[in-house]
Structure 1
């Protein structure tokens, strides 16, 4: 969130993906901090501290923008 999820970036991604031969679908991977506990178990500092998880509104916005380019969009991977 806040790094590559603005509408302009998503439109550029959609335009690029739609221009590639054979690309008909794209996966949107919402950010979450589920790896934090794995880092803690290893005694490591989680590099994503301070980054909020993706909000559902932002994910849906990304899906809608990408669908405008004729792409099939799946949330998750």
Structure 2
């Protein structure tokens, strides 16, 4: 997944939040975190290359929208229970 992102084969990836934190804090790779962590097990995070600012902004907008209107909670409860 990481190589696909670096090679511009994909625009963003979702991965374990601990790995996201490690990669970004230690500047192992030049990633930009997007939105808030997805609470599922240990948590997941979305990352994209910093140059994809339009994509990052759009993902952040959508994540905020579905969190505010309850869609995120509905989807989460459907698949993972309340």
Same-fold call, TM > 0.5? no
Bigger strand fraction: 2
Higher relative contact order (CA 8 A, sep 6+): 1
Bin for the TM-score computed over the shorter chain: under 0.3
Q: TM-score, normalised on structure 2?
A: 0.25
Task: Give the structure with the larger helix fraction.
Answer: 2
| Bigger Rg over Cα | 1
